[in-house]
Structure 1
Amino acid sequence: MKQYDMIIIGGGPAGLAAAIKAKESGVNDLIIIERDRELGGILNQCIHNGFGLHTFKEELTGPEYASRFIDRVKELEIPYMLNTMVLDINEHKVVTSVNSKEGILEMKAKTIILAMGCRERPRGAINIPGSRCAGIYSAGTAQKFVNLEGLMPGREVVILGSGDIGLIMARRMTLEGAKVKAVVEIMDYSSGLKRNIVQCLDDFDIPLMLSHTVISIKGKDRLEGVTIAKVDVNRKPIEGTEKYIPCDTLLLSVGLIPENELSEKAKVRLSKITGGPEVNESYETNIEGIFACGNVLHVHDLVDNVTKESYNAAKNATRYLSYERCKKRVIEVKVSNGVRYTVPKYINTYKVEDSIDVFFRVDNVYKNKAIAVYFDEKKEILRKKRILTPGEMESVRLTKDMFESNKDCKIIKLCVE
């Protein structure tokens, strides 16, 4: 059985950033395991710009952003395995994988960084009635067809869901000559970034139909059209509001799910809200020595935030390897009144050096509200916000002084006020 100090599972933006930071921090015995045929992950098919504004202070496409990290991995001579599928991880940090050249491989790690990313929610998860005809794709699959394979999924398109991938594909399909007839969203707000709504829909006069959903699909061999309807506050179709839209393609952008089947096998505790691991301030899971970062932890809106998070996870995994331990006084971060979850969920106050950023999302659109942070009953932060939306990740910074002045604190709470 091969032995490594660190195994990084996933060669996308999170895995690449974590590997680079670990190597630069002195970890030489490490390896990246990637199931695809090349490094870069989902960025390879994201040919639109808007990446790298925070990390590199310039605007890059997805492949350009990925290539910066791939080039650095090669410069640092970090080993990686491609076309290799991880089958199992156990709580003892034994990783079982398989590829066509070497067959079944077992590796033992002192520490593991989970960076498997996320996948799209399929049609079966949303129970749309109708036939299983051709012409129904996830938005990411359509993106791969158009951007990597040079294939057009269809010519008359309806998009269900206003996530960022769906919004971006509305623009992409339009630029390739298709007619995008509508983007249909069951909620009364878009789950995508505001800039994508403006640049991908408004600029191309593509209608965004909020509080609507697809209620039936027509077509035998190929999709012929969909029927949409307005929904009530319980997201149930309202009778009499049905509208038929002829189309040959339906793209689904109905949410992303962190890829955590391997995490479950390792007995990592997962959040019921995010579907990702519950981690502490070091991005360490409940299994000692197993860390998580990127979209496998929680779905991000900006890849620059994935990079920053992965740097931090690798830095802390490196400290774990050096047996750098400290005393523990763990505070749980709880949420209420509009905040859905936080990352991290637990904070060891002895590990807070100067400050720690806590990331979170809200559960609805809030205007002219504030984010409040309580240490037990004491309000430490009240930050006014003109608008808060579920599509954009927020953060608050907790300083060392706050923890010092609340030494007996049992619970930290975040809420919208």
Structure 2
Amino acid sequence: MVDLVIIGGGPAGLAAACKAWESGLRDILILERDKELGGILNQCIHNGFGLHRFGFGEQLTGPEYAGRFIEMLKGTGVKVQLDTMVLEVTPDKKVHCVSKEYGYQIIEAKSIILGMGCRERTRGAIGTPGTRPAGVYTAGAAQRYVNMEGYLVGKRVLILGSGDIGLIMARRMTLEGAKVLACVEVMPYSGGLTRNIVQCLNDFDIPLYLSHTIVDIQGKDRVEKAIVAEIGPDRKPIPGTEMEFDVDTILLSVGLIPENELTKQAGIEMDPRTKGAIVYENMETSIPGVFACGNVVQVHDLVDFVSGESELAGAAAANYIQNGPVAEGRVLTVKPGADLGYTLPQRIRLEGVEKSTNVSFRVRRICGKSTILVKSGDTVIARFKRDRLAPGEMEHIALPRVLLDRAPMDEVTIEIEEA
């Protein structure tokens, strides 16, 4: 029996483990399927990590950011099993895993933190028409080839999707000597951070075509051409707007999906909006003592927020083991308004909120000067002003316990009122 098993040794798992140890827990085990800790950060060799956590004077790369937490972990007695694949998590908190060193293990845990991260959406998931030649990669796979394996995946590149990884790979491929012809985005706005659009596209004169998509991929053995067309409000290509690009590589940056096979298998309640687990204010799932944090719950824009959310889960897991479950009491359901994609957490137990609780969300469209309204029924219980809101940037608000206590109904809705 282990007090706390953490699945995943990326930024979420590392932060959760350090915080659980700091909170007094001494029997902690991290299970990581890769051969080293750090997760996706190991291939993110660009800087810009940790600006919120370590201050704007620090320009850390992904491996450096991971290294900070790995160093903190070395100062603890947290046990780590690398090269270990978790096969199943059962509702009674048994973790089935396999590794070369230990063989097949069934580890019983008092508490579990799920921190498996996310994966990329592939060409098959978006149904891009055309032949199936070599040279079509997800942006993350290309990033690993270039940054970790030392392979240049192509010389003439078109990027579909303007998520952060795609934008960063536009710059990376350019710096490695490739010609990035364009970045093509199906939505009328970019899905990435503004700073990445400026630093990765504008600074290198790479055009961004909004409301465009690839309508045909041509090539026998390797990609030879990509046909791009403008799309209308109905998401259908507009005839006569086609552009032809001579390319040998297409990178796909068309969204990330939380890695939740283990979560579903355990019977944990899922949110169809986030594609992750439904969680309470302390990141606890519908199974008591099982917590989820990081990109496995919601896809984050900044790793700093992953770390903060995961520390919340680590402290909550320690509290669960030391003091038992959160006391029963009033529970508020948090719902997104029309302009929001989702809200997290989806449920707030008032007994679990000491002073305030954070709610994060993403908007569905770009909004100018706006007010974020927190409503319970027709009653507005809180207002937050913002100069701008964008789908590529996660928003955070802190709701004080005193305001939540005043909610006339057991339901809270977050809405956007544009000026």
Normalising by structure 2, we get a TM-score of: 0.97
| Residue 131 in structure 1 maps to residue 131 in structure 2 | yes
**What is the distance in 2 between the residues matched to 1:338 and 1:62?**
32
**What is the distance in 1 between the residues matched to 2:301 and 2:38?**
17
Cα offset for 1:101? 2.4
Equivalent position amino acid for 1:399 in 2: P
Check the 8 A contact 1:376/1:410 in 2, yes or no: no
Moved beyond 4 Å, runs of 4+: none
| Residue 188 in structure 1 maps to residue 194 in structure 2 | no
**What is the distance in 1 between the residues matched to 2:162 and 2:279?**
29
**What is the distance in 2 between the residues matched to 1:178 and 1:80?**
39
Cα offset for 1:384? 2.9
**What is the distance in 2 between the residues matched to 1:214 and 1:294?**
31
Deviations 1:13-68 (A, max 9, x none): 00000001111111111100000010000000000000011211222000000001
Secondary structure in 1 matching 2:66? helix
Check the 8 A contact 2:382/2:403 in 1, yes or no: no
Deviations 1:291-350 (A, max 9, x none): 000000000001000000000011111111013442321010112120111110000112
Q: Which runs of structure 2 are paired with 1:2-401 in the superposition (5 Å)?
A: 3-57=1-55, 58-324=58-324, 325-401=326-402
Deviations 1:375-404 (A, max 9, x none): 232112232322211100001111022123
Cα offset for 1:149? 1.1
Secondary structure in 2 matching 1:371? strand
Deviations 1:72-111 (A, max 9, x none): 1122131111111000011011100111222211100010
**What is the distance in 2 between the residues matched to 1:36 and 1:139?**
20
Cα offset for 1:122? 0.7
**What is the distance in 2 between the residues matched to 1:64 and 1:383?**
34
Deviations 1:154-200 (A, max 9, x none): 00000000000000000000000000000000000000000000000
**What is the distance in 1 between the residues matched to 2:74 and 2:369?**
48
Check the 8 A contact 2:26/2:77 in 1, yes or no: no
Secondary structure in 2 matching 1:387? coil
Equivalent position amino acid for 1:18 in 2: A
Which range moved further: 84-93 or 66-75?
Answer: 66-75
Normalising by structure 1, we get a TM-score of: 0.98
Check the 8 A contact 1:131/1:218 in 2, yes or no: yes
**What is the distance in 2 between the residues matched to 1:42 and 1:181?**
27
Equivalent position amino acid for 1:5 in 2: D
**What is the distance in 2 between the residues matched to 1:64 and 1:302?**
15
Cα offset for 1:409? 2.8
Secondary structure in 2 matching 1:6? strand
Secondary structure in 1 matching 2:388? strand
Equivalent position amino acid for 1:224 in 2: E
**What is the distance in 2 between the residues matched to 1:315 and 1:234?**
46
Secondary structure in 1 matching 2:26? coil
Give me the identity figure in percent: 53
Check the 8 A contact 1:94/1:109 in 2, yes or no: yes
Equivalent position amino acid for 2:128 in 1: I
